[in-house]
Amino acid sequence: MPGITGHQTRTLRTITRALPAGSALVIHSDGLSERRDPQTLPGLLEHRPGVIAGHLLRSAGKYHDDASVAVAKGLW
């Protein structure tokens, strides 16, 4: 959701998904463009979480907005 955290409190969304073994969970702020196809990044999810997050920030970060990425792997 675009906006400033805490400026106008909106209803939070909770999403529950089963994660298969070996998968990665990637969440990010609206400062990353969603106009990308995961198929164009073959092998990216095989790397360590910090490498994945850094690559996404560099390749999809919007130059006019702040951005954050959190990546979790192997916790399930």
By CB neighbour count within 10 A (0-12 exposed, 13-18 middle, 19+ buried), where does 49 fall? middle
Query: Given pLDDT bands bounded at 50, 70 and 90, which one contains residue 47?
Result: very high
pLDDT higher than threshold 70 for residue 63: no
Structural domain that includes position 43: 24-73
Residue 49 falls inside a structural domain: yes
Domain tally, the chain: 1
At 22 the pLDDT is 83
Q: What is the mean predicted confidence (pLDDT) over 37-66?
A: 81
Residue 36 lies in a domain: yes
7 pLDDT tier (thresholds 50, 70, 90): low
Residue 16 domain flag: no
Measured over the CA atoms of residue 20, residue 36, residue 56 and residue 31, the dihedral's sign is negative
Q: Is the pLDDT of residue 1 over 60?
A: no
Name the pTM for this structure: 0.69
Per-residue model confidence (pLDDT) at position 49: 93
